[in-house]
Structure 1
């Protein structure tokens, strides 16, 4: 919405910058740092691992999360992604996680997401 108002009030480039700026401020207010992934990785005795995520999971934290998923995919681990302690999950990140769930399943592996009702950014 802030992008639309920014575009209508100014021009396209300024409107986009206003929208991005507002989004960053909202992420800071809701979850602290948006530039690092707050993750704790707990391996189990079997071939499984749980990734506990906290804080905000947004576009800028997707790359480190993707690296973890890629590594565990290559190691053929069973992965549980626990987002019960997150304050905010960006919808684009969730759609990418869903793609990884499919990728794991297509290759005979398991990636599950443990969640509670959380704020998913729209």
Structure 2
């Protein structure tokens, strides 16, 4: 228990919320209430959290929405308990909905993994290429799982060789895509093996941090 508390503190959980949940209750309709959790939802403050859920929902026979978007961290034990509470509400014919998890980053691939508020790491792939190549390139990237891209028209020039003549300025585009780290290697290999041998292009890959990396999955 001491180790788990230490890990939660290291992950940004405020000390004041380790044993006391900070909850706001609001009636959103005639038969539905909303509970907003602040700071943290962790094993050490679960018992008073559960009491509030039972009092507002099961005792008063109201549907319940749990909003976790305001917490710094929700741990795996609480997510498991919330899953069990959903079953209890269903047995009573009541609705039970947990929201806000998409604003938190899971710390493993488990569906009930601990989630924390942090910036997610992504890869930003930037490609400078002539305009004539762009449409073909976009089609290829979308086919390989890219869901969003940004394209900017620009002009540029350069040398094919260090000692060669300066090339005439050409109309080019700057194409940027954000992809999960797991997809980046395959895209780089595609560009290296299929695009660069045939077309002029400059490719850059860098690590960036985004607020909601799940938007790009």
Q: Normalized against structure 2, the TM-score is what?
A: 0.44
Residue 114 of structure 2 aligns with which residue? 121
Question: Which residue of structure 1 lines up, in the alignment, with residue 189 of structure 2?
Answer: none
More strand by percentage? 2
Give the match for residue 33 of structure 2.
49
Larger-gyration structure (1/2): 2
Structure 1 gaps of 5+ residues are: 1-19
Aligned pair count reads 103
In the alignment, what sits opposite 1:16?
none
Which residue is equivalent to 1:105? 90
Which residue of structure 2 lines up, in the alignment, with residue 27 of structure 1? 8
Q: SS at 1:92's partner residue? A: helix
Asked which structure has the greater RCO (Cα within 8 Å, sep 6+), the reply is 1
Map of 2:42 onto structure 1: 58
Q: Distance in 2 between matches of 1:21 and 1:61?
A: 14
